[in-house]
Amino acid sequence: MAKKAQIKRIGVLTSGGDCAGLNTAIRAVCMAAFQQGWEVYGIHNATDGLIARPMMYKKMSVLDFAVPYARLGGTMLGSNNTGVFTRQKKADGSYEKLTEKEFFKRFKEGIEQLKLDALVVIGGDGSTAIMSRLCKTANVKMIGIPKTIDNDVPATDEAIGFSTACNIVMDALDKLDTTADSHERIMVLEVMGRTAGHLALRGAIAGLADICLIPERPYNYDEVVQKLREIRASGRTHALMVVAEGLKTPEGKNVYASNGHTFGGIGQYFVNRLSEEPDKFNVRLTVLGHVQRGGSPVAMDRLLAVAFGTYAVRLLASGAKNRLVVLKNGKLTDVPLRHALKIAISPVKPNDPMVKMAKSLGMYIGHK
Ligand code: F6P
């Protein structure tokens, strides 16, 4: 590890879509930093906190965790996932659009005004990439902690929030199965996962689904129908089907939500089409949506959040900078941010153990 650093004060922020476990991670970073005798500034609403004038931040203390925040979903610091990082929310709730140059300048000023020696960024792939550029320009040390229910951050086997979201998908399937059984129905469950199907696939396996379609795996509509016919022929009159929101239609089109920029609607596509089959399938749709990002973190996410948060502080204490904390082959370690961010996202690969497991179960997950 690098030479010991003289750190006195660090910042911590959450960036990108929220998920369960963020507060546990914030607490872990703060507690571990207090142990080092450092001050911690919680930056509100991701970059907004440093860009807005007046800035939006809070000096953290142990009393912030005397209330049960760390057990809850969401983020006590607020976040931002507009995607347009130069569009900034002001303290009064209105937005201002800055040039990229002005944005970088204000970020640097913010870091300097707060006298931050380092910044711990709890974020997904997109926000970590942006934050890494900003921190480099501002000449402040950064340590990244991966979080996302999509579990698509390259370099880590698992990100904070993923396990809880998998549990939510599993729980939904458990609940849908009883109605499916009672009413002889095919239940289609649309889950999140913009470009990666980890959540859909793991949730489908844990929730004992029959079909799981994800963006990474080509599929054939007729094979979906065939699978449903096979289930019926076996004597079972109900079935569970999971589709990831980022899945394209058999015609190769993405389906967008009414806001025009997030995915949503592929489940409805299947319900409409399957209902028209001569088999008279009785099909119903459930869209889980942001339910998957909420709730109390499960033990796995809390442990991961504590492991990542405390490790991030130890890294800084040892003099390290510009690293991403990761879990690799069950081991807590770190990689250079620039390596981790070279690959845009980490998809479900053909040799993923989950793919093998699903196939062994006879689940239809697209082409063999
Ligand atoms: O990246 C996490 C994620 O939950 C995706 O799965 C989903 O497409 C997106 O965020 C939804 O974002 P928003 O909160 O903007 O609707």
In tens, the pLDDT along 170-180 reads 999 999 999 99
Helix (H, G, I), strand (E, B) or coil at 114: coil
Distance of CA 259 to the CA centre of its chain: 20
Ligand 1 close to Cβ of residue 262 (< 6 A): yes
Helix (H, G, I), strand (E, B) or coil at 10: strand
Class of domain 9-160+297-328: alpha beta
Please name the amino acid found at residue 186. I
Helix (H, G, I), strand (E, B) or coil at 351: coil
Q: Matching CATH topology for 9-160+297-328 and 165-292+350-360?
A: yes
The pLDDT tens digits for 235-265 are 999 999 999 999 999 999 999 998 888 899 9
Say which CATH topology domain 165-292+350-360 has: Rossmann fold (3.40.50)
Strands (E), 166-255: 186-191, 211-213, 239-244
Residue 67 has pLDDT above 90, yes or no: no
Ligand 1 close to Cβ of residue 44 (< 6 A): no
Which of these ranges, 27-36, 82-91, 335-344, has the smallest mean pLDDT? 82-91
- DSSP annotation of 109 reads H
Tokens representing 92 are: 């009064």
The pLDDT value given to residue 154 = 87
Bond prior to 297 in cis (omega within 30° of 0): no
Dihedral sign, Cα of residue 317, residue 319, residue 325, residue 328: negative
Catalytic residue among 18, 150, 152, 301: 150
Distance 235 CA to ligand 1 centre (A): 38
List the domain boundaries for the chain: 9-160+297-328, 165-292+350-360
CB 198 within 8 A of CB 286: no
Ligand 1 close to Cβ of residue 153 (< 6 A): no
- The C-alpha torsion from 295 through 299 and 301 to 302, rounded to 10°, is 100
Pocket perturbation via mutation, ligand 1, pick of 22, 87, 150 by most ligand atoms within 8 A of CB: 150
Residues 6+ apart with CB under 8 A from 111: 11, 50, 119, 135, 138, 140
The pLDDT value given to residue 274 = 98
Strands (E), 91-233: 95-97, 118-123, 141-146, 186-191, 211-213
Which of these ranges, 79-83, 165-169, 309-313, has the smallest mean pLDDT? 79-83
Q: How confident is the model at residue 164 (pLDDT cuts 50, 70, 90)?
A: very high
The pLDDT value given to residue 368 = 62
Ligand 1 close to Cβ of residue 81 (< 6 A): yes
Respond yes or no: is residue 210 known to be catalytic. Answer: no
Distance 262 CA to ligand 1 centre (A): 7
